[in-house]
Amino acid sequence: MILSGDRPESIADAVRALAAGELVGMPTETVYGLAADACNDVAVAKIFSAKGRPSDHPLIVHVANAAEVSQFAQHVPKFAQSLMDVFWPGPLTLILPRRPEVGATCAGGQDSIGLRCPSHSVALALLKACADAGIAGLAAPSANQFGRISPTTAAHVQAEMGDDLLILDGGACTVGIESTIIDCTRGAPVLLRPGVLTRAQLASACGCPVLERDAPTLQATAGPRASGTLASHYAPNATLRLMDAQALQAAATLLEAEMRAAKIGAPKVALYSRVPVASSTPSLLQRRMPNDAAQTARELFAVLRDFDARGVKLIWVETPPASSDWDGVRDRLQRAAS
Ligand code: TXA
Ligand code: MG
């Protein structure tokens, strides 16, 4: 059932459900999450089973403010504190050394924990009300079935999780792709998952460069697992291919010729590109990708879901530009294409 997240009664209902060990669909500025009391192992186990997610894939714990971090993290490196100061509340998750006595189930057995303070007003209202009720943090992965596209509206969550789940409606997510993840357990900041924050923004907040996950100078680690870093993830039902503008036009021209020759059963192909592509076949569904990375991030998952809903079998996407502001969108599209 979907409840308006703006109403205090809905927040109270959600807190009651969470305190009883139930799950709640929670809006955030990035994507919708499937939330449970992070310190209730039985409730956290329900997240893994509802998503079909392997239990060794760690979850992010959402907190109402930076002061709550010490409940879960053993130690906060200076550069991590700077990142929090600059970007929280906001679309940034920090992996920190975990207090051994808390969050083991959330952490999927890691000795670290992912923490984030989201900026969505409904998420913050829920987290504050939870803190008042003695719930220090909400474990919440994206509210989709494992491997599928993250939801960016309450209706998407309902389509993924069914009608029984209490979902707080907070409108369409304004960021649209998942948070940037920085591992802060290795002596230097390491980028595990790109989001909408650019490398330059992150480095300037840290006061040092942000390293790649396989940088040779890093302290050894057991290698944190991140499902968002699996080669194949965020997959629509249709097959997705990335192509440059020239290849897209060539493919569209070929499709048009084939469709003219075909008598029946025209396959539906969707095209999502910044360049205009000339084609007159009705088998090709065209949608323009914004020239702006943030705008593309905001609509990306909804666009892919819409193509699936129209029964498209193939999605041809123009490769995003190489600049850093497109890192998050490019990452999601590459995984969707794998
Ligand atoms: O924007 C977001 O981050 C959304 C919203 C709901 O906050 N959440 C999200 O959660 O994307 P999820 O579970 O779909 O992705 C979390 C990622 C996973 O790739 C997970 O493996 C990684 O964070 N992660 C969490 N805790 C970790 C840890 N201790 N070490 C390494 N990776 C971790
Ligand atoms: Mg996810």
Helices 293-309, 327-337: inter-axial angle, 10-degree rounding = 20
Range scoring the smallest mean pLDDT among 80-89, 126-135, 145-154, 221-230 = 221-230
For residues 305-326, give the mean pLDDT: 95
Question: Average pLDDT, stretch 67-72?
Answer: 96
Residue whose CB lies within 8 A of the most ligand 1 atoms, among 47, 55, 56, 59, for a mutation test: 59
pLDDT for position 224:
47
Average pLDDT over residues 306-328: 95
Q: In this predicted structure, what is the pLDDT of residue 80?
A: 98
C-alpha distances (whole Å) from 21 to each of 43, 268, 288 are: 5, 44, 43
Percent of residues, the chain, with pLDDT higher than 70: 93
Model confidence at 132: pLDDT above 60: yes
Is the CB of 293 inside a 6 Å radius of any atom of ligand 1? no
Mean pLDDT for the stretch of residues 68-79: 97
With a 6 Å cutoff on the Cβ, whether 211 touches ligand 1 is no
Q: Alpha-carbon distance 161 to 173, whole Å?
A: 18
CA–CA separation, 191 vs 210, rounded Å? 6
How high is the pLDDT of residue 279?
Answer: 85
The number of angstroms, rounded, from the C-alpha of 271 to the middle of its chain's C-alpha atoms is: 23
More confident residue, 133 or 231: 133
Confidence at residue 283, expressed as pLDDT on a 0 to 100 scale: 83
Average pLDDT (150-177) is: 98
Which parts of the chain fold into alpha helices (H)?
8-19, 41-51, 69-72, 78-87, 121-132, 154-161, 199-206, 245-261, 293-309, 327-337
What confidence tier does 97 reach under pLDDT thresholds 50, 70, 90? very high
Query: What mean pLDDT comes out for the span 91-100?
Result: 98
pLDDT at 33 over 60: yes
User: Does residue 320 have its Cβ closer than 6 Å to ligand 1?
Assistant: no
Q: Is the Cβ atom of 60 under 6 angstroms away from ligand 1?
A: yes
Residue to mutate, 47, 93, 157, 232, ligand 1, most ligand atoms under 8 Å from C-beta = 93
DSSP letters, 245-261, are HHHHHHHHHHHHHHHHH
**Ligand 1 closest atom vs CA 62:** 7
- Judged against a pLDDT cut of 80, whether residue 115 lies above it is answered with yes
Spatial distance between the Cα atoms of 337 and 300, rounded to a whole number of angstroms: 14
Q: Which of 14-28, 97-111, 227-241 has the lowest mean pLDDT?
A: 227-241
* Residue 127, ligand 1, Cβ within 6 A: no
The mean pLDDT value for 61-88 works out to: 97
**How far, in Å, from the CA of 142 to the mean position of ligand 2?**
4
Ligand 1 pocket, 61 CB below 6 A?
no
Question: Residue type for 202, please?
Answer: L
Residue 267 has pLDDT above 80, yes or no: no
Residue pLDDT, tens place only, 216-237: 666 555 454 454 556 667 789 9
List, for residues 194-217, the tens digit of each pLDDT value: 999 999 999 999 999 999 887 766
Q: Which residue has the higher pLDDT, 259 or 333?
A: 333
Does 213 contact ligand 1 (Cβ within 6 A)?
no
Q: What is the pLDDT of residue 229?
A: 57
Q: Look at residue 244 and tell me whether its pLDDT is greater than 90.
A: yes
Look at residue 163 in the predicted model and tell me its pLDDT: 95
pLDDT of 327 higher than 50: yes
Q: Which atom of ligand 1 is nearest to the CA of 230?
A: 19
Tell me the C-alpha distance between 179 and 93, whole Å: 6
Average pLDDT over the chain reads 93
β-pair type (24-26, 33-37): antiparallel
- Determine if ligand 1 sits within 6 Å of the CB of residue 144: no
Using the mean position of ligand 2's atoms as its centre, give its distance from the Cα of residue 177 in Å: 10
Q: How large a percentage of the chain has pLDDT more than 90?
A: 83
Distance 307 CA to ligand 1 centre (A): 26
Closest ligand 1 atom, CA of 110? 29
Write down the pLDDT at residue 302: 98
